[in-house]
Amino acid sequence: MIFNKEEGSKRKPATFTFVLALLSIACSSVHAQSFFIRNPLESMGAQPHLSISGEVYANTKDVLLDFGIGIDDVGYDYTARLNFAFRPYTKTVLTEIEEKEWRQYFERLYIISLDLEKRFNFILFGDNNRFGPYLASKFGYFLSDYRGMSKHPNQGFKIIPAAGLGIQFDHSTFSLGYLFLNNGTDDLNGMLQFKYAFTFYKTNN
Amino acid sequence: MKKNSSLTVLFLVGLLLIACSKFPSNSCDVNKPCYTLAPDSLFVELQLTPQSDQDTIFVSFYEGNVDDGELLTTFTTSFDREYFYVPVRKRFSASARYKRGDNFYTAIDGQYISVKSSTNCEQTCFDWDERVLDLKLKIDEQE
């Protein structure tokens, strides 16, 4: 076989385009069967069910664990849960109380909150599985415990927004997002949020 | 299937409760030390960041918490450990003030001094946790 270098180089883009077109047709036919876009604001009527969740918030300086129980409405795609978050270890924190005056404490942190979340699932795939972004907010009370102190400066009500992406299967929802936690210190500002939630309801299977 | 799942969950929760609950121990280990006399007082160790000759640490020791307790004593030291003999079943706390350049750092720690009892070979034995107030400056340890 004689290979003409010039002819060969001209054929490469054409071949690549042809293969790409084939792939696109093949994938679109698959998508036509398994994926479709839905209106994220449409609902199937109120369908509230009991739901539990487990979450981890983490950044490079801190980790919090969170557990919740509440209601998941699979019709309107929202949840309302009562959550309890805590730092699973005692952390050394440094706080500037005045100019050039610093205090070092051993801190344990707890957060009791009402978590509200609205999902905007715009992709349906498989057997009623959903994917889409979510917006959430924690309405919580921070309780901190400093060893050796009776007063705890890091205490009070806070509203903490969060956003991310979630994938929802039959009873389980996995979410990955960002918690906009501004605690006034560098350590706790902004955390990644990993969440698993389980909803108790009867399926038609 | 759903009934089995519910029963399984209930069974696991029950196991967890049993595992975490305290049952009277009938163990007998003759090699295990047993202090049959409950102590009235124990030593508390204050751990400090050792200083050079020019720098000293200003230490305050309290019964209760630092912000609302009774100040028992204050002193300066450059050592890395200090000890106090204190009564049990009370809370004690301490603060240690360091100077670093133009900044002042105060490390604070506190602990409730408790004594626990258990049974070994049908004898009541007393034990206690480590009693350490960690007043070491963490920024020094990170450097």
Contact at CB, A149 and B67, closer than 8 angstroms: yes
Nearest to B65 among A94, A104, A150 (CB): A150
Per-residue pLDDT band for B21 (boundaries 50, 70, 90) equals low
Contact at CB, B133 and A148, closer than 8 angstroms: yes
Is the CB of B68 inside 8 Å of chain A's CB atoms?
yes
Nearest to B102 among A100, A105, A148 (CB): A100
What is the pLDDT, as a whole number, of residue A127?
80
Mean pLDDT of B91-103: 93
In angstroms, the CA B140 to CA B100 distance is 10
* Spacing of C-alpha B133 from chain mean position: 7
Contact at CB, B108 and A147, closer than 8 angstroms: yes
What is the pLDDT, as a whole number, of residue B19?
58
Please name which of A107, A125, A118, A146 lies closest in space to residue A31, comparing C-alpha atoms: A125
Other CB atoms within 10 Å distance of the CB of residue A159: 10
Interface test with A, best of B105, B131, B140, B143 (most A CBs within 10 A): B105
Contact at CB, A101 and B104, closer than 8 angstroms: yes
- Tell which wins on pLDDT, B120 or B81: B81
A55-69, B1-15, B101-115: the lowest-pLDDT one: B1-15
Work out the mean pLDDT of chain B and round it to a whole number: 83
Contact A190, A147 (CB under 8 A): no
Contact at CB, A104 and B138, closer than 8 angstroms: yes
> What predicted TM-score, i.e. pTM, was given to this entire model?
0.72
- DSSP assignment, residue A29? H
> Both tokens of residue B34?
């047993």
Beta strands in A10-128 (DSSP E): 35-37, 48-58, 63-73, 78-86, 91-98, 101-119, 123-125
Q: What does the pLDDT look like over B22-78, one tens digit per residue? A: 555 557 877 777 888 888 899 999 999 987 767 789 999 999 999 999 999 999 998
pLDDT tens across the length of chain A (205 residues): 333 344 444 455 656 555 555 555 444 444 445 788 887 777 778 889 999 999 999 988 889 999 999 999 988 899 999 999 999 999 998 888 889 999 999 999 999 999 999 999 888 888 888 999 999 999 999 988 899 999 877 788 999 999 999 999 989 999 999 999 876 555 557 899 999 999 998 765 4
- CB contact set of B65 (below 8 Å; sequence gap of 6+): A148, A149, A150, B91, B93, B110
Percent of all residues in chain B with a pLDDT value above 90, rounded to a whole number: 45
Per-residue pLDDT band for B108 (boundaries 50, 70, 90) equals very high
Name residue A57's beta-bridge partners.
A64, A193
Contact at CB, B106 and A102, closer than 8 angstroms: yes
For residue B133, which residues of chain A lie inside 8 Å, CB to CB? 148
Query: Per-residue pLDDT for B135 more than 80?
Result: yes
What is the pLDDT, as a whole number, of residue A9?
47
